[in-house]
Amino acid sequence: MKRRTLCFWVLMVSIGIPLAAQDKPTTTTTDTEKPRVFITDSQSWEIGGYGGGSGGAGGSMVKGGARPQTAEIVKTFGERCHEVTPNNRQDKADYIVLLDHEGGKGFLRHKNKVAVFSRASGDSVISKSTLSLGGSVQEACEAIVKDWSAHGTAIRAAEASAVVAQLKPAAAAVPDPPAPAASPAKLSIASNPSGADIEVDGSFIGNTPSGIEIAPGEHSLKVSKSGFKPWERRFKATVGSVNITAELEPQAK
């Protein structure tokens, strides 16, 4: 009788059926949407999604997809963990399942390893070793369902906020209002004797006496008349009126 029981136990473990699986209640998620999981093995994780030969040689690059040798893992996960949705894009998944399965060995020689990470935070949810692929899937499934029940609503809310932020147009930069133009200063120029030529900043503007408008700031002024020495000054005009009288000196004969 003991030998039959041992053989039955060996058979259950070798085909990946967890012990006392019938005694455990079925776990379901409380959220309306199931968590999405990206399933891969350590080698796929290391080469960043290349498919095909060793290290990606002779294959093609598949963004987010699992390698062919992980197909059995993905298939088993989909069949045994109905509480989640397997997803082939790592950037769209809620959890990353890293699962190494050593098939083709005796059940006592298996060294299957499973680890689950939250994609949003990068934190580890579970990390264990198991004797079978089925046991690895069950451990990962139970850990995901438990974490999703506690944090699923927050994960979905954060995802929705990120989408809204991407769709929201950036606020257009409001240009600064143009600076109001400075009021011109009024410049009155006279000379003794009158009738002299007036040049402001090198430009002829008329004869004395004359009144002109000029921009505020520093300027050069030249008053000249035949038979008299040129009269030159630099002055600073401000808002308002500026009155200047040039006293011309006769030239020596």
Give the model confidence (pLDDT) of 36-54 as tens digits. 988 887 665 443 444 444 4
* C-alpha–C-alpha distance, residues 208 and 193, integer Å: 9
Interval 144-179: pLDDT, tens: 999 998 888 888 888 888 877 777 776 667 787 877
pLDDT, mean of residues 78-105: 80
Q: Residue 244: which pLDDT band, with cuts at 50, 70 and 90?
A: confident
pLDDT at 109: 54
% of the chain exceeding 90 in pLDDT? 9
pLDDT at 4: 53
Cβ neighbours of residue 194 closer than 8 Å, sequence gap 6 or more: 207, 208, 209
pLDDT at 102: 64
Residue with tokens 């079925």: 26
Cβ neighbours of residue 212 closer than 8 Å, sequence gap 6 or more: 186, 187, 189, 200, 205, 206
Dihedral class, residue 58 (left if φ above 0, else alpha if ψ from -120 to 50, else beta): left
Threshold 0.95, pTM exceeds: no
Angle, CA of 201, 204 and 208, to the nearest 5°:
105
pLDDT at 92: 84
Q: Residue 70: which pLDDT band, with cuts at 50, 70 and 90?
A: low
CA dihedral sign, ordered 39, 43, 47, 53: negative
193 alpha carbon, distance to own chain's centre: 76
69 secondary structure, DSSP code: G
**Helices 133-167 and 71-80: crossing angle, nearest 10°?**
90
8 Å CB contact between 52 and 58: yes
* C-alpha–C-alpha distance, residues 127 and 146, integer Å: 14
Q: Residue 23: which pLDDT band, with cuts at 50, 70 and 90?
A: very low
Position 152, amino acid: G
* C-alpha–C-alpha distance, residues 39 and 64, integer Å: 10
Which domains are present in the chain? 33-153 (3.40.50), 185-246 (2.60.40.1120)
